[in-house]
Amino acid sequence: MLSWQNKEISSVQLRQEVSAEVANSPVRTGSDYWNEKGGAPVVMNWRKSKPWFFLLLTLVVCLAGAMILGGCRRGTEADPVVTDPDDNGENGEPGENGEPDDPAVPPPSGRGNRPGHYEALAVEADNWIYYTHFPYSEVRKVRSDGTQAGTLSGDTNAGSLNQAGEWVFYAADAGVVQVRTDGSDREVKFPRPSGYLLRYLSYVDGFFYVAVLQEGLPNQGILRIPFDGSTPLWISSDAPAGGMCVADGFIYYSTGMDGTIYRMGVDGSSREALTAGFHPIVDGAYLYYAVENTIKRRHLVTGDEMGLTVDLYGNSFQVSGDDIYYTHAVDDLKLHRANWGGGTEVAVAEPVWKAFLYNQVILFQNHDDWKIYRVPPGSTTGTLLP
């Protein structure tokens, strides 16, 4: 008879007695064995009989559990399983190691071009020129000295070029596009709606401003697109067919050649009509614009105006300080420079369609071959960009 049925014994004695009993017994089922021994074993109340044992057992269980849980935490937090240490995810998705994607690319500060260059086909910065010219099949770059020419992207019909920080921005057939100055990380920030044109793109302090245009179609207007990819905002339902520039927290735009120039906040607030005219350019304290063959400037605070009558061809003029550069409608479309104090001279002795000013450098689109040329300081003749 097993002693534990009627008295308390140690666990060592219990194992010894059970082992001897089983060794001397024939093979039987579990139920036969317990029936012969007088029924199921008596459950001992160890809590009452041996309180120190219960406390010791509880302590051992708690320590074992803590070790197991601690080991689990070390395996998931301190020592994660990494299949590829360089995999940080792409396009905002987590990588294989569970880490988030690379931090969001911060928007470059400042602006991407001068306020009057909202139709720029070329921009020069940091001794590099980024440009596109006929047949408008790609965006190119070249050093200012004509070396290291190459292709930046294969975007077609690009225009309104901007450059800020490590980025070049433009409007093209694909939409509003950004690409790094080395040609990497090209991204369409806003796809071009089918049937519409995207014009007058300006990048200023983390936002793109672009006109969505197409005569006869609805939903034209001005769109503000955040650099970080969040939701674009329609800030005006007016169609700025006569030009649009962004300067000093305001947007200036014209509704057409015979239209009105308006000013509003960059969020679309406080819209007001200023004057009749087109091709608005803000430079310093003045708004410049065209009315037929007269280039006018209007003081932004006092509203005082004065005009400079010239033989203006189209709306091709730019401003630099007190000088006005304009395509002369009579003198073989040469680029003339006039001063508000009087006097005029030839700045570029070639037919000019559009001109863009960077310090004392002039980049222009030739009216004959539609290519981009660079005129260095002190010259009136341009060099064709490759």
Residue range(s) defining the domain that contains residue 60: 3-78
What confidence category does residue 18 fall into, taking pLDDT thresholds of 50, 70 and 90?
A: very low
CA distance 157 to 142: 19
Lowest mean pLDDT among 24-28, 86-90, 217-221: 86-90
* pLDDT more than 90, % of the chain: 66
Q: Is 80 exceeded by the pLDDT of residue 12?
A: no
Same domain, residue pair 128 and 223: yes
Whether 76 shows a pLDDT value over 90: the answer reads no
Note the pLDDT of residue 5: 37
Same structural domain, 118 and 227: yes
What is the domain-level CATH number for residue 380?
2.40.10.480
Whole-number pLDDT of residue 218: 82
* Residue at 121 is within a domain: yes
**Residue 254: its pLDDT value, please?**
96
pLDDT of residue 27: 39
Same structural domain for residues 207 and 118? yes
Single out the residue in 239, 261, 276 at which a domain terminates.
239
Would 291 be classed as within a structural domain?
no
Which residue did the predictor score with more confidence, 64 or 356? 356
Cα–Cα distances (Å) from 364 to 116, 122, 253, 271, 384, in that order, read: 14, 8, 23, 33, 10
**80 pLDDT more than 60:** no
27 in a domain, yes or no?
yes
Q: Which residue has the higher pLDDT, 255 or 89?
A: 255
* Band of residue 293 on the pLDDT scale cut at 50, 70, 90: confident
- Name the nearest CA neighbour of 134 among 156, 153, 160, 101: 156
Q: Is residue 67 very low, low, confident or very high in pLDDT (cuts 50, 70, 90)?
A: low
Q: What is the pTM of this model?
A: 0.73
Q: Which of 279, 317, 278, 309 is nearest to 293 (CA)?
A: 309
The 383-384 sheet, strands edge to edge: 352-358, 361-366, 372-375, 383-384
Q: Is residue 84 included in any domain, yes or no?
A: no
HEC readout, 96-116: CCCCCCCCCCCCCCCECCCCC
Given this model, what pLDDT does residue 215 score?
77
**How many other C-beta atoms can be found within 10 angstroms of the C-beta atom of residue 363?**
23
Q: What's the structural domain count of the chain?
A: 3
User: Residues 320-331: pLDDT tens digits?
Assistant: 988 999 999 999
Confidence at 308, pLDDT banded by 50, 70, 90: very high
73 and 121 belong to one structural domain: no
Clarify whether residues 125 and 208 are in a common domain: yes
Query: Is residue 55, in this structure, part of any structural domain at all?
Result: yes
- Structure confidence at residue 65 (pLDDT): 54
Q: pLDDT band at 72, cuts 50/70/90? A: very low
User: Greater confidence, 8 or 209?
Assistant: 209
Q: Based on the domain organization, do 116 and 227 belong to the same domain? A: yes
Task: Work out the mean pLDDT of the chain and round it to a whole number.
Answer: 80
Mark whether 128 and 224 lie in a shared domain. yes
